[in-house]
């Protein structure tokens, strides 16, 4: 974009990318269609496929900053690297295999400003690996507290917008667990409330190879999150039961 003023960036979009040549062009295009002042920080986590080749046609756009990790570091490190580079007031995360509707950031930014929020998330529509939309909508509550979030992670990373200063205060950690879930919980411990925009502005690809796609592994990791957050066994079992019940409802 000729004459684009990067000094007025409002939203920094952080997109980790690893061996996602099949999907990343659609993700990038959905970001560039957003009607807000933004920068797109693509963190290539040492991809070994044609990911870079798919990105190259977009690099003439001044809003895109493309960085390659020297070695494969994992999604948490890659997101944290993007956050550290961010110049916008807000950060929005988008995984390279998901995409947004054109009004996603505009509507979410309005919610963040109205509520003076530090964290928000949108609802999402599920699609399969081929990108075929299912019509299945995963909703999000209008307000989310720490205790509510312990009952099930209704905040999807690719639907998140978070105040940049808060994201830098609480980087993602413990990637062997659910690093994003831990981040939201830690934020809500201090800031008490997150807001939901209950519209499917995120199109979310279900991948069998993902951490959340493997249900047993995801369940073990969720229990590990409870223990990491300092919950005792009884509390952990209590919230895990909520998680299990909501999980059955969510995908059926």
Concatenate the DSSP letters of all residues of 234-252 into one string: HHHHHHHHHHHHHHHHHT-
Residues 125-154 have a mean pLDDT of 95
Q: Is 48 exposed, middle or buried (0-12, 13-18, 19+ CB in 10 A)?
A: exposed
Residues 106-129 have a mean pLDDT of 97
Mean pLDDT over each residue of the chain, to the nearest integer:
92
Residues 193-210 have a mean pLDDT of 90
Integer angstrom CA distances of residue 218 from 25, 129, 156, 197, 225: 28, 19, 14, 25, 10
pLDDT band at 215 (very low <50, low <70, confident <90, very high): confident
Residue 4 has pLDDT above 60, yes or no: no
Task: Tell me the residue length of the chain.
Answer: 252
What whole-number distance in Å separates Cα of residue 211 and Cα of residue 222?
11
What integer pLDDT is reported at residue 209 of this predicted model? 61
What integer pLDDT is reported at residue 252 of this predicted model? 54
Residues 88-92 have a mean pLDDT of 98
Residues 139-167 have a mean pLDDT of 97
Q: Give yes or no for a contact between 107 and 30, defined as CB atoms under 8 angstroms apart.
A: no
Q: Give yes or no for a contact between 155 and 185, defined as CB atoms under 8 angstroms apart.
A: no
Q: In the chain, helix, strand, coil percent, each to 5?
A: 40, 25, 35
What integer pLDDT is reported at residue 1 of this predicted model? 40
Of the given ranges (13-17, 74-78, 176-180), which has the lowest mean pLDDT? Answer: 176-180
Residues 186-207 have a mean pLDDT of 96
What integer pLDDT is reported at residue 210 of this predicted model? 58
pTM: 0.92
Residue 68 has pLDDT above 70, yes or no: yes
Q: Give yes or no for a contact between 146 and 139, defined as CB atoms under 8 angstroms apart.
A: no
Residues 69-83 have a mean pLDDT of 96
Q: Is 177 exposed, middle or buried (0-12, 13-18, 19+ CB in 10 A)?
A: buried
Residue 7 has pLDDT above 70, yes or no: no
- What are phi and psi for residue 178, nearest 5 degrees? -100, 95
Query: Quick one: CA torsion of 55, 57, 62, 64, rounded to 10 degrees?
Result: -10
Share of the chain above pLDDT 70, in %: 93
Name all contacts of 1-9 with Cβ < 8 Å and 24+ positions apart: 1/61, 1/62, 1/63, 4/62, 4/63, 5/37, 6/39, 6/62, 6/63, 6/87, 8/37, 9/37, 9/38, 9/39, 9/87, 9/88
Residue 207 has pLDDT above 90, yes or no: no
What integer pLDDT is reported at residue 5 of this predicted model? 52
Q: Give yes or no for a contact between 103 and 201, defined as CB atoms under 8 angstroms apart.
A: yes
What whole-number distance in Å separates Cα of residue 111 and Cα of residue 66?
29
Residue 3 has pLDDT above 50, yes or no: no
Phi-psi region of 69 (alpha: psi -120 to 50; beta: other; left: phi over 0): beta
What integer pLDDT is reported at residue 246 of this predicted model? 77
Residue 54 has pLDDT above 50, yes or no: yes
Residue 2 has pLDDT above 50, yes or no: no
């Amino acid at each position: 974009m000729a004459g684009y003023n990067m000094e007025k960036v409002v939203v920094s979009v952080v997109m980790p990318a690893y061996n996602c040549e099949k999907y990343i062009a659609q993700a990038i295009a959905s970001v560039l269609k957003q009607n807000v002042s933004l920068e797109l920080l693509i963190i290539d986590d040492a991809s070994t496929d044609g990911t870079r080749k798919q990105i190259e046609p977009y690099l003439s756009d001044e809003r895109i900053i493309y960085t390659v990790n020297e070695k494969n570091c994992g999604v948490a490190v890659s997101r944290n690297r993007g956050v550290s580079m961010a110049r916008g007031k807000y950060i929005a995360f988008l995984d390279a295999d998901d995409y947004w509707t054109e009004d996603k950031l505009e509507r979410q930014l309005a919610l963040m400003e109205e509520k003076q929020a530090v964290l928000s998330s949108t609802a999402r529509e599920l699609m399969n690996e081929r990108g075929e939309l299912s019509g299945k909508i995963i909703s999000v509550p209008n307000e989310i507290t720490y205790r509510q979030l312990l009952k099930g992670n209704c905040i999807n990373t690719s639907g998140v917008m978070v105040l940049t200063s808060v994201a830098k205060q609480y980087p993602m950690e413990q990637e062997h667990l659910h690093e994003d879930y831990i981040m939201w919980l830690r934020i809500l411990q201090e800031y008490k409330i997150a807001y939901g925009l209950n519209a499917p502005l995120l199109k979310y690809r279900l991948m069998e190879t993902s951490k959340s796609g493997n249900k047993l592994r995801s369940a073990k990791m969720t229990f590990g999150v409870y223990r990491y957050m300092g919950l005792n066994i009884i509390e952990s079992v209590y919230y895990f039961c909520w998680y299990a019940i909501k999980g059955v409802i969510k995908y059926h």
